[in-house]
Structure 1
C-alpha cells in the first residue's frame, strides 16, 4: 500500500453514489432479469467515470465505488453486506428464518438479537418512527426485509462477479492513471449474521464463511489490487445484544470473529490488506455505541496492514485520544475518518486538517491516510458526497503543508 511519504494521502471507506442509470440497470442483477449485457457495459463505463471523478476530487487511493455490489435504491445501508448473497451457494429463503426474532443474552453467553431489537432503536423509538426526524432507516413497524439462511454447506459462487470487479477497476486505474485501487469484501463475522440452519455451532459457521470469503480475498489480491475487509460486526454488534453485555463478554464474542478473519487471511500479504471498522452507518443517535478504547487492541490484532475507522462523527471524534495509549505497530497505517457520512454539513478544510494533524502527531505523518468515516454512497445526497471528498482533499493539502513545513 502507498504511504504518505511526502504529503498526506487521501482515500475513502468504499461506497460512492451510484448514477440513476446504474441504479435502474442493477435490476438486471436479479436472477432471471433482462439486460445483463447492457448492465455489464454500463458498469464498466461507470467504474471508469467514478475513478476519474475521485481523481478529480483529489483522492489518491481510489476504488470502484462498490458499483459491483448491487444497489437498486439511492438510500441503501446494506449493499456492502447483501451483495454476498448472490455469491454464495447453500443459502435459501426459508419460512422459519429466525434472524428477525428478538433474542436475549445471558452473562457469559452473548448472542445477537434481531436488527430491529437494537438498544439504540428502543431508546429512541419515537425518533426512529417519525418520518420528520431525519433518521433514514426502514420503518420498524413495517415488515422486515427478507434475508436468506444457510440450509446446507456454503460455497463461493462469485468468481465471475469478483472477476468483473477487479477487471473493471484495473481498467479504470489504467485509463485514469490512478496509482492504487482497492476492492471491498465482506468479513466472516458480518457474513455470519444471517440465519444458520446447517452448521452445528456459531463458530463452525464463522469458519465456513472464512473459507468461502477467502476465495474472494485471494482473487482481489491476485489481481494486484488492495483488499479492504468491511466488518461492522466488530463494533456495531454491541448494539444488537440485549441486554447490554459485560464488556469482557463482548470482547470474547469479538475475539472469535477476529480469529475467524485471521484464518481467512492466513498467508495473504498483509501489506495489501486494509480493515474497516465502523459502528453502523445509519443516521441515528448511536448512544449505545461501544467506546473505541475497548476495541482498539482487538483491531490491531487483525492481520492487516492498515486500519480504517470512524473518527469524524459527533459520537466518536474524541476517540483520537486512544492513540495516546496504543502504539501503532511498525509498518502499519491508519485511515481515520476525517469527514463523516452522518451529517449533511460539509466539513471545512481547516477542520479536516486539524483532525489529520491530531493523528499524525501521535502515530507519525507517514502512517496516516486521510479517509471518510464510512461509505458515502447511499448515505448522503450525491452532491454532498462529492463535496465531502473534495473538502477531504483540501484538508489533506493544508495538513501536509503544516506537517512537512
Structure 2
C-alpha cells in the first residue's frame, strides 16, 4: 500500500452510482425476470471500464471497481456468495431489524417521513439455516477480471476492492443453525476469508467495510450498556483479525462509519471511546468517516490515538450524504490538520462512505458525485503544496 511520499494521494470508500443500463439488467435479475445474460456481462464489463476511467480523470489515485458486480447492497451481496442462508418476508414492521435504534426512537416522526421517501425498503430477512461456506468464486473471478481489464487502460497509483467485514456480512441476520451468534460469526469470517485472500492474491488492496461495528452501539445501547457494546466490538475485531491472518497487513484497509443514512445521528458512539479497540485491527490503513457535522471534530482524537508502525489514516474529507460540493480549500484544511498530527506520508484523502449503498440506491446525484471527487483531488493538490513547500522551506 503506497504512502503519500511526495504528495497527498486520494481515494474513496468504494461504492459508486451505477449507470442506468446496468441498473436495468440488475433490476431484471433481482426480480427474477428474463434478461440477456451475455448482454448483462458485456454491459458490466463496459461499465466497470468506464467508471475506472472516470475516477482516473477526476484525479483519484487509488480506485475501485465501484462495486458494480454486486447485485445487492454492500453487505447483503454476501447472500449470493455464501451458502447456508434462507430469505423470508418480514411479517411485521415492528419486527423489522432495519427499523430500530436509539436515533430512530428519539426522532420517530423524522424517520417515519424518511422511510416514506426511501427508494428501497427492506422487506426480507436472512436466516442462517445451514452450514456456511464460500460459493462466490465465479462472481468474484468475473469482478477481478473486469477490474484488471479496466485498469489496463488507465494510469493510477493502486486499486482496491471493497468487501464486507465479518461483522457487517448480511447484518441483522438470524441464526437457526449454529449454537450461538459468536459461532455463526466465526463461520462467516472463515468463509469470507476466501474472498479476502483471493482479492489480495489478485494484486489488489482489500478493503473491509464495517459500518455495523459502530452502528451496533445505536442498536444495543440502551438497553445494553457501553461496556456490553465495547466487549462485543472487541470480539468483532478479534474475529476480523483471525479472518485476515496471514495476509500482508499493508494490503488490507479497514473502513468504519456510523451508517450512511441521512439522519440526525445524535446517538452515534464517539470515536474517542472506541478508537483504542479499532486500532487493534491488524490492517495497513484505517478508513474513517470525518467530514460530516457529527464527526468532523473528531480529527482531534488523533492527537492522542497512535497509528502503528507503517499504518495509515484515510480520513473522510468529503461527505457522501449531501449534494453540497465541498470547497477544495476546506478539503485541504481537513487534510493538513491531520497530516500535521500523524505525518503527511501517513494520510490519504478519502470520503466518508460510498455514494451508493446498493445498485438502485444513491445518496447524491451522479453529477454531484463526480464534482465531489474532483473537489477531493483539488483539495489534495492544495494540501500537498502547503505541506511539501513548507517542508522544503
Q: TM-score range by the shorter chain?
A: over 0.9
After TM superposition, the structure 1 = structure 2 runs for residues 26-37 of structure 1, keeping only pairs within 5 Å, are 26-30=26-30, 33-37=34-38
Displacement, 1:29?
3.7
- Matched with 2:158 is 180
- Matched with 2:388 is 404
**Cα distance in 1 for residues equivalent to 2:56 and 2:353:** 19
Alignment of 1:9 with 2:9, yes or no, is: yes
- Matched with 1:335 is 314
Alignment of 1:167 with 2:136, yes or no, is: no
- Matched with 1:56 is 57
Rate the CA distance shift 1:257–1:384 in 2: closer, same or farther, 3 A.
Answer: same
Displacement, 1:235?
0.5
After TM superposition, the structure 1 = structure 2 runs for residues 3-402 of structure 1, keeping only pairs within 5 Å, are 3-30=3-30, 33-70=34-71, 79-94=73-88, 101=95, 114-130=97-113, 137=118, 144-191=122-169, 193-241=172-220, 243-377=222-356, 378-402=362-386
Per-residue CA deviation, residues 361-391 of structure 1 (Å, 9 max, x unaligned), is 0000000000000001221111111111000
Query: Does structure 1 retain, via aligned residues, the 8 Å contact 2:52–2:150?
Result: yes
Rate the CA distance shift 1:9–1:144 in 2: closer, same or farther, 3 A.
Answer: closer
TM-score between both structures, scaled by the size of structure 1: 0.90
TM-score between both structures, scaled by the size of structure 2: 0.93
Rate the CA distance shift 1:136–1:311 in 2: closer, same or farther, 3 A.
Answer: farther
Query: Does structure 1 retain, via aligned residues, the 8 Å contact 2:349–2:376?
Result: yes
Query: Does structure 2 retain, via aligned residues, the 8 Å contact 1:8–1:396?
Result: yes
Displacement, 1:148?
2.0
Displacement, 1:138?
6.6
Displacement, 1:115?
2.4
Query: Does structure 1 retain, via aligned residues, the 8 Å contact 2:25–2:35?
Result: no
Rate the CA distance shift 1:395–1:39 in 2: closer, same or farther, 3 A.
Answer: same
The number of equivalent residue pairs is: 382
Query: Does structure 2 retain, via aligned residues, the 8 Å contact 1:173–1:180?
Result: no
Query: Does structure 1 retain, via aligned residues, the 8 Å contact 2:90–2:124?
Result: no
Query: Does structure 1 retain, via aligned residues, the 8 Å contact 2:89–2:125?
Result: no
Per-residue CA deviation, residues 123-156 of structure 1 (Å, 9 max, x unaligned), is 111112226x9x96479xxx84202211010111
**Cα distance in 2 for residues equivalent to 1:37 and 1:256:** 43
Displacement, 1:43?
0.7
Rate the CA distance shift 1:238–1:138 in 2: closer, same or farther, 3 A.
Answer: farther
Query: Does structure 2 retain, via aligned residues, the 8 Å contact 1:137–1:282?
Result: no
Give the secondary structure class of the aligned counterpart of 2:292: coil
| 5+ long unaligned stretches in structure 1 | 72-78, 103-113
Q: Is the deviation greater in 321-330 or in 191-200?
A: 191-200
Give the secondary structure class of the aligned counterpart of 1:89: coil
Give the secondary structure class of the aligned counterpart of 1:17: coil
**Cα distance in 1 for residues equivalent to 2:85 and 2:177:** 10
Give the secondary structure class of the aligned counterpart of 1:227: strand
Displacement, 1:254?
0.7
Query: Does structure 2 retain, via aligned residues, the 8 Å contact 1:48–1:176?
Result: no
Query: Does structure 1 retain, via aligned residues, the 8 Å contact 2:166–2:188?
Result: yes
| 5+ long unaligned stretches in structure 2 | 357-361
